[in-house]
Amino acid sequence: MFEATAVNRRNQRIQRLFGILFLLMTALLIAPVLLILTMLVVKGGPAISIDFLFTHPTHGMTAGGIFPALLGTVWLVAVALLISVPLGVAAAIYLSEYAGNNWFTRVINLAVINLAGVPSIVHALFGVGAFVLFFRFGTSILAASLTLAIMALPVVIVATRESLQAVPLAFREACWNMGATRWQTIRRVVLPNAVSGILTGVILEVSRTAGETAPIMFTGAVFFTPFLPQGIFDQTMALSLHLFVVSTQVPGVPDDLPYGVALVLVALVLLMNSLSIAFRMHLRGKKKW
């Protein structure tokens, strides 16, 4: 039998101490999220109903539902994804698989990092100048989604590049030794093994784009419209802007209405993220390494 020495006992105490410390830090991170969700469910739950989800606002937005804002949010997120994901993945493929270690690549990497730190209001002003005025898309779903896509590009690029670089080099070398070209290797081997990591960037993009207010306020979202959007050149309501409006701009709003809008927005983001995470786990289960 081995008997623990004083050094062993001291190391065990330190290990338990750090374990408790990290547990407390994790609890401090989770507790605010749980408190926010609990508050939204308690205060916003009474407002949730079928009519609330599938009817238009009425009586100056003090009654009725949120269907136009809910549908508009889905429009904005979907179009932003369709624009940003192909561009972001293509940029990441170039940076990871084709670009050499030179000044041009370093400038691109610096630009990606700086773009991630630009405040959303600056993106909003850029969207107005570039998409609303210069390209003459007007205040529309397309202009707002393009602005959101520009905001989300750094997240997609970084997540995709990291996932591409995580694919073992031996996979590439095996394909090259079999006579495959670089693009054939990327398309048939590297991308399929990196798609789960790419979905991580998509999940983060959904979370950010669905909750942004400033970029869409100036480029495509409106205070109120009685019509549902029929295409990408129409204006639309959005849940994030609707929440801002009913919370600060409309008098006489019932207390549970803003919390109900916030609860639906959080639930929509969680639903989209859950579907992406489930698909990512399914793909990871197919990996052989």
Please report whether residue 6 resides in a domain.
Answer: no
Q: Are 105 and 29 in a shared domain?
A: no
Please report whether residue 239 resides in a domain.
Answer: yes
pLDDT at 286: 66
With 0-12 CB in 10 A as exposed, 13-18 as middle and 19+ as buried, what is 26?
exposed
Q: Are 80 and 223 in a shared domain?
A: yes
CA distance 165 to 178: 21
Q: Are 172 and 56 in a shared domain?
A: yes
Q: Are 20 and 63 in a shared domain?
A: no
* CATH code of the domain containing 251: 1.10.3720.10
Q: Are 150 and 268 in a shared domain?
A: yes
Q: Are 40 and 83 in a shared domain?
A: no
Q: Are 19 and 90 in a shared domain?
A: no
Question: Coil, strand, or helix at residue 63?
Answer: strand
Q: Are 38 and 63 in a shared domain?
A: no
Q: Domain containing 32: what range?
A: 11-47
Please report whether residue 118 resides in a domain.
Answer: yes
Please report whether residue 289 resides in a domain.
Answer: no
CA distance 216 to 219: 5
Write the CB contacts of 112 (distance below 8 Å, at least 6 apart in sequence). Answer: 91, 153, 154, 157, 158
Q: Are 92 and 25 in a shared domain?
A: no
pLDDT at 275: 82
pLDDT at 137: 93
Please report whether residue 212 resides in a domain.
Answer: yes
- Neighbour-count burial for 147-185, b at 16+ CB within 10 Å, e otherwise: bbbbbbbbbbbbbbbbbbeebeeeebeebeeeebeeeeb
Residue 214 in tokens: 């400033």
CA distance 216 to 208: 12
Please report whether residue 1 resides in a domain.
Answer: no
Q: Are 29 and 110 in a shared domain?
A: no
| Residue 231 contacts residue 205 (beta carbons within 8 Å) | no
CA distance 206 to 246: 23
Please report whether residue 93 resides in a domain.
Answer: yes
pLDDT at 194: 87
Q: Are 77 and 142 in a shared domain?
A: yes
Residuewise pLDDT in 10s, the chain (289 residues):
557 677 788 888 899 999 999 999 999 989 998 999 999 999 999 999 999 999 999 888 888 899 999 999 999 999 999 999 999 999 999 999 888 888 888 888 888 888 888 888 999 999 999 999 999 999 999 999 999 999 989 989 998 999 998 888 888 888 888 888 889 999 988 988 888 888 888 888 888 888 888 899 999 999 888 888 999 999 999 999 999 999 988 888 898 999 999 999 999 988 888 887 887 777 776 665 5
Q: Are 138 and 20 in a shared domain?
A: no
Among the listed residues 43, 63, 58, the one whose alpha carbon sits nearest the alpha carbon of residue 260? 43
Please report whether residue 251 resides in a domain.
Answer: yes
Total number of domains in the chain: 2
Categorise residue 48: left if φ over 0, alpha if ψ from -120 to 50, beta otherwise: beta
With 0-12 CB in 10 A as exposed, 13-18 as middle and 19+ as buried, what is 77?
buried
